[in-house]
Structure 1
């Protein structure tokens, strides 16, 4: 029986898994150091109190049970070493997992440039436990402001470094949430400030001018101080030193200034780019090992035009689905299908029930309608997974 292993239970890994389970005669193992699939784009709602942990996670144990595959198993393990020749995966828990085909889907993490002193003071909210920590810290700051507002009303300044999608969305959600907090309670001590620092000459570099303009307008209306064309030089305990010669006092720092591939890629002697992402061919295979595939954010994926695709959910879905189909094709000695991802558009959450987006490169939308489209897209992904984990939960309770 052919053995297929997926390392990483994120978006791309789950899409690959959904294809692979169509073959009931192979053994499939999903490995992840976490017990849950983190719905990363929705973590900002968690921080803004619009959702809870159950809304932004999918339990991997019940998910796998709900897929009703006779030879599918989930293992909560941390990979330590990959032996490509022996086709074995060694883990910190001393368990060895064998494979015939391997899917690398471990994603990326926030890159903290070592040349910036003191950056260890910043938070990485892409990780769920840090998002929860920040949420609690943010709420504690708001509580302290109203607790002592009659005696003192010190400035609270949150600085978000990095004005890509993650930076813009978290800044907008925090600004909106704090604004509504002070308004709802009629608190006088409402001097919470949020600054967004971009090293580029604009926010959201690479997106359409119209989308940038709409987003900038929304950030401005939320009172966010947008600082462009400025780099972070040093991160001190209570202030940041910027390349424009200024120092900014801060209460919190959130760093979203770039990504790097999961360190698990160091286990593979294959071609990688400067961020550690694995270079793959049109079938999503690594250059040395045709039985090892890389998908989602951990891979540098190109379309048929040779353009590098951005790391997002759409590319994760397309690459994960394609890799799953190609492995099944290899097992049956059939022709594989080239991966040619096309972006369906981009939607940016900008605080409250407001978003901005570009659909299929044809039309721009903003406001409530863009927000509803974004929620629909998320729901269309999450709903079938919820049905699977509910089925898995029922099966688990019968054991």
Structure 2
């Protein structure tokens, strides 16, 4: 029986799994160091108290049980080494997993440049446990402001460094949440400030100008101080120092200024780019091993025009499904299918029930309409997964 291993239970890994389970005569193992699939785009709702932990995670154990496949296992392990010659995966838990075909879908992590002193003290909300810790710290500070407002009204200043999608969305959600909090309670100590820092000349570099304009106006309406064209140089105790010589006092620093591939990518002797992403061909295969595929954020994926695609959910979905299909075709000796990923649009959460979006490059939407489209897209992805985990949960309870 052929053995297929997927490392990473994120969007790309799950879409690959969805294709692989069509073959009932293979052994499939999903490995992840976490027990859950983190619905990353919705973590900002968690921080803003619009959702709970259960809303932004999918349990991988029950998900795997929900698939009708007798030879599918989930292993909660941390990969330490991959021996591509021996086709073995070594883990921190001393368990060895063997494979005939391997799909790497371990994603990326926030890149913290070592050249910036003190940056390791910044919050990384891409990691769910760090996002929850930040949420708790932020709410504690809000409570202390209310508790002490008669005696003192100390400034609370959140500095978000990085004005790409992640930075803009978290700044907007935090501002909307805090504004609603102080207005609802009519608290006098409502001096929370949020600054969004971009090293580029604008926010959301690379996106269409109308999306930038909509987002810029929304951030201004939310009271966010947007500063462009400066770079973070140092994070000190209670202050940030920037390239133009300014120092900004802070209560929290959130860093969203770039990504790098998961360390799993370095375990393979294959071509990688400067961010550590694995360079793949049009079939999602690595350059040296036809039986090893890389998908989602951990891979450098190009479209048919040779353009590098951005790491996002759409590309993860397309590349993951393509790799799953091609593993099955490779087993059967059939021609592989080229992956030609296309972005079907972009949607930006901008606080509360307000969003901005570009639909297929043809239509720009904003406000409540864009928000409802974004929620629909998310629910369309989450709904079938919820059916699977409910089915898996019922199976586990019968054991």
Per the TM superposition, whether the score is higher than 0.5 is yes
CA distance in 1, matches of 2:194, 2:133: 18
| SS class of match (1:80) | strand
Structure 1 unaligned regions, length at least 5:
none
Q: After superposition, where does 1:1-399 map in structure 2 within 5 Å?
A: 1-399=1-399
Cα offset, 1:121, TM superposition: 1.4
Contact 1:121-1:237 within 8 A present in 2 as well? no
Deviations 1:1-53 (A, max 9, x none): 11000000000000000000000000000000000000000000000000000
Contact 1:64-1:74 within 8 A present in 2 as well? yes
Cα offset, 1:294, TM superposition: 0.2
CA distance in 1, matches of 2:70, 2:394: 17
Structure 2 unaligned regions, length at least 5:
none
TM-score normalised by structure 1 residue count: 1.00
CA distance in 2, matches of 1:270, 1:288: 6
Cα offset, 1:308, TM superposition: 0.3
Q: CA RMSD in A?
A: 0.4
| SS class of match (1:341) | coil
CA distance in 2, matches of 1:85, 1:120: 36
CA distance in 2, matches of 1:121, 1:114: 12
CA distance in 2, matches of 1:65, 1:240: 48
Cα offset, 1:124, TM superposition: 0.2
Contact 1:175-1:351 within 8 A present in 2 as well? yes
CA distance in 1, matches of 2:146, 2:90: 52
TM-score normalised by structure 2 residue count: 1.00
| SS class of match (2:86) | coil
